[in-house]
Amino acid sequence: MPKTVIYILVVAFSIGFTSCKKEEKSAVEGIKLGNKAPDFTLPDVNGCHISLSDYEGKLVLIEFWASWCPYCQTENPVLVMLYNAYKNKGFKILGVSLDTDKNKWIDGIENENLGYDHVSDLKGFDSPVANMYSVSGIPHMCLVDENGMIILITNNAFDVATMVEQHY
């Protein structure tokens, strides 16, 4: 095979492993670095409502994920280690699941040992919150500072780890 064909195949293959994608991209303009993170309220696994504003004054990562997403499963161990290392300094993670089956969502939390807060409306990519945050693929992560400003948008847990470590 010519080197060009191999290169194209490698690039195409790599792009396919960056996230679990929504079938259609949302027409919503989206959130931007430096803007205030839009507030939202969703139920947790017990049906209690949690809002982003509940984390006011804290550094919080909003992590859009799903139990069925292999790329999320790859990023989760880094997030778990990061959370455990910085939770006593005030760092929070709010997992927003794009699952549509509550049992699979709960099993995913348990199987991945995700000891931080989780919410979901169980609407998958049709979730109004996912639309609000222009989520077209997962994992999708937004790091929000103590003032509610978005300081990072990424699909890579190592990017988050770098920012959190710099923050503290």
User: Tens digit of pLDDT for each residue in 2-46?
Assistant: 443 333 333 333 434 445 655 444 334 568 999 999 999 999 999
Q: What is the pTM of this model?
A: 0.84
Q: Is 4 within the bounds of a domain?
A: no
* Number of structural domains the chain divides into: 1
Residue 136 lies in a domain: yes
pLDDT surpassing 80 at residue 160? yes
Lowest model confidence (mean pLDDT) among 29-33, 104-108, 114-118: 29-33
Q: 71 lies in a domain? A: yes
Is residue 3 in some structural domain? no
Q: What is the pLDDT of residue 31?
A: 85
Assign residue 50 the CATH number of its domain.
3.40.30.10
Domain span at residue 72 reads 20-167
Of 20 and 51, the one with more pLDDT: 51
Sequence-ordered strand ranges (E) for the chain: 20-21, 41-43, 49-51, 60-65, 92-97, 117-119, 137-138, 140-144, 150-154
CB 33 within 8 A of CB 151: yes
Instruction: Encode pLDDT of 119-154 as tens digits.
Output: 999 999 999 999 999 999 999 999 999 999 999 999
pLDDT attached to residue 120: 98
Residue 27 lies in a domain: yes
Nearest residue to 75 (alpha-carbon basis) of 87, 55, 88, 61? 61
User: Could you tell me if residue 13 is inside a domain?
Assistant: no
